[in-house]
Structure 1
Amino acid sequence: MKKLAFACAGLLGLALSHAALAAGAQQPTRAASPTGIDAASAAQLDKAVAGSWRSPENKARDMYRHPQQTLSFFGVRPDMTVIEIWPSGGWFTEILAPYLHDNGHYIGAVEAGSKSTAALQKKFSFAPAQYGNAKIMEFNHKAPVLGAPGSADRVLTFRNVHNWAADGSAEAMFKAMFAVLKPGGVLGVEDHRADAGKKLDDVVNSGYLPTDYVIKLATDAGFKLDAQSEINANPKDDHNHPKGVWTLPPSFDMGDTDKAKWQAIGESDRMTLRFVKPAAAK
């Protein structure tokens, strides 16, 4: 399998608004009323994004990944228990774990036996002051159990659903994410977005996914779609590349062939979806 590829409603404060506009972000499709974060949380999030422990390579991708706006849209506050599914090398971990360090809990849920465990352990060992309370949980994504039922405030997954769609585990993963969330908890999903009207079979090997397919996965598992955002949209991406999403940065699977062209497009066009576990659900 290919390598694994997690606007704030009402954009919190003028500083965040300028950052979003500079990154080409757009407003969400509707207001994200119950989930935004307060000004104090936003300030802590800004501090985590600016952290000196983050690698220069990861910081350079902020213009494509919009971490402040994305995590604000998902309503992630620093006192929450947050499970990040398949954090891979830990791009969002570098922000989430320090942000949750003092008053919350960060759990990186990784595939049992994968290289992610060692990669995250190494990252944590270099900056114990920021990562000292972070946890790693291994699980089998074909028969997933992500923790005690109703134990997480937020479950986030960034650019992973296309992998589950390709190997047939997507339905099980969404059911497991539903089970581990508290009633009223939020599932945040970001993934590469296919052209409207495309069928899964047409695009599954490209890394892009139909938005309606992802929404159906979540709603079939019991979630309610709460809001969609264009934070991570990229109108330069026409979704049609020789090696799918992996043609574009940061992967550059075409090597030096037309590299300037792919660099000019930037990272992929992505959907950003917020789902809620109904308050009455168990």
Structure 2
Amino acid sequence: MTGSIHRRANLIGVLASLAMLGGWGSVAIAAEGVKSPDYEAIVAAPDRSDADRQTDLRRQPAKMLAFTGARPGMQVLDMDANAGYSTELLARAVAPDGVVYAQDSAEVIERFVKDKFDIRAQKPAMKNVVHVVRNFDDPIPPDVNGLDLITFFFAYHDVTYMAVDRAVMNKKMFAALKPGGFLVIADHSARPGDGTNVGKTLHRIEESTLRQEIEAAGFKLVSEADFLRHPEDPRDAAVFHPPVPVDEFVLKYQKPL
């Protein structure tokens, strides 16, 4: 019996170590009966909209969800939720007892979102979502802490040309995560040397620049994904109507234990 207990403890330790090194999405969390949801089934849910299914074609949401490791019971902050495409997917992944805080600034809501998020929020799949209207450099309500996961999808480049103190924003995200919690960030790739200079014109950001800013807040890179990489993209055109698929990077950071 003692040997069995030790073997089980060692297995749990190995799984936990692998999860932290490679990301929760790469390892099924078998310990204590907890496992990741069926991400393909989440994406295939019949009550998702046709518009979202069109977005799926370029976003590969099942792979993205798996990379984030979102699973039931998690507390998640979705930065720049906008119309809520990713928010809804995350809400489905953490259901039934998890929660997703969907952050938008008042400026973004006024210029881009309007009532799109409110319409989506009426769906049953959004019942565990809290819409948080706060500035980017103060994105987390004071009573929210110990988050398991923060996502920041294809919008970090936008804050480079807004009145946002990105260093403060990144430190606030770092502080809101529990030790061992993850930040998954994805964006449109710019050319070497472009830095943040093309955020408003091409809606891209140089990957190395973003990495430097995120890591300055204390985050440690633990994994990166290539499922949205397109090396054929010259990265010199705006992302909205590109001549070839847009090259995009996907990074997973962790708050050290």
State the TM-score bracket (shorter-chain normalisation). 0.7 to 0.9
Matching residue of 1:191: 187
**1:237 aligned counterpart, secondary structure:** coil
One-letter identity of the residue aligned with 1:33: G
What are the superposed Cα offsets for residues 113-152 of structure 1, whole Å, 9 maximum, x if unpaired? 6244732221121x22x22221111111244445546421
Q: Any idea what SS the aligned residue of 1:183 has?
A: strand
Secondary structure at the counterpart of residue 198 of structure 2: helix
Identity %: 25
1:131 maps to 126
State the structure with bigger RCO (CA 8 A, min sep 6), 1 or 2: 1
Query: In structure 2, how many angstroms separate the alpha carbons of the residues matched to 1:168 and 1:232?
Result: 29
Point out the more displaced range, 139-148 or 47-56: 139-148
Seen in structure 2, the aligned counterparts of structure 1 residues 147 and 62 have a Cα distance that, compared at 3 Å, is farther
TM-score, normalised via structure 2 length: 0.80
Q: Considering only aligned residues, what root-mean-square deviation do their CA atoms show, in Å?
A: 2.3
2:90 matches 1:96 = yes
- Give me the whole-angstrom Cα distance separating, in 2, the residues matched to 1:236 and 1:184: 35
1:4 corresponds to: none
Q: List alignment gaps of at least 5 residues for structure 2.
A: 1-19
Q: Which residue of 1 aligns with 2:256?
A: 278
Tell me by how many angstroms 1:238 deviates.
1.5
* 1:1-282 correspondence runs (5 A): 32-36=21-25, 37-38=27-28, 41-112=35-106, 114-115=109-110, 116=113, 118-125=115-122, 127-128=123-124, 130-148=125-143, 150-167=145-162, 169=164, 170-195=166-191, 197-200=192-195, 202-204=197-199, 205-241=201-237, 244-248=238-242, 262=243, 265-266=244-245, 268-279=246-257
Number of residue pairs the alignment of both structures matches = 228
Deviation at 1:184, TM superposition (A): 0.7
Give how far 1:172 is off: 2.4
Shift in CA distance, 168/81, structure 1 to aligned 2, threshold 3 Å: same
Q: Which residue of structure 2 aligns with residue 9 of structure 1?
A: none
Change (3 A) 1:103 1:142: closer
Query: Which deviations, in whole Å up to 9, do the C-alpha atoms of 1:217-272 show, x marking residues without a partner?
Result: 1111111111221121123322122xx22333xxxxxxxxxxxxx3xx23x21010
Deviation at 1:32, TM superposition (A): 4.9
Offset of residue 90 of structure 1: 1.4
Preserved contact between residue 82 and residue 153 of structure 1 (Cα < 8 Å): yes
TM-score normalised per structure 1: 0.73
Secondary structure class of the residue paired with 2:240:
helix
Structure 1: which 5+ residue stretches go unaligned?
Answer: 1-30, 249-261
CA shift in 2, pair 1:117/1:179, >3 Å:
farther
Q: Larger radius of gyration, structure 1 or 2?
A: 2
| Alpha-carbon shift at residue 157 of structure 1 (Å) | 0.8
The question of whether the paired residues in 1 share the 8 Å contact of 2:187 and 2:204 is answered with yes
Deviation for aligned residue 1:161: 0.6
State the secondary structure of the residue aligned to 2:115.
helix
In structure 2, give the amino acid aligned to 1:213.
T
Contact 1:146 1:180 in 2 (8 A): no
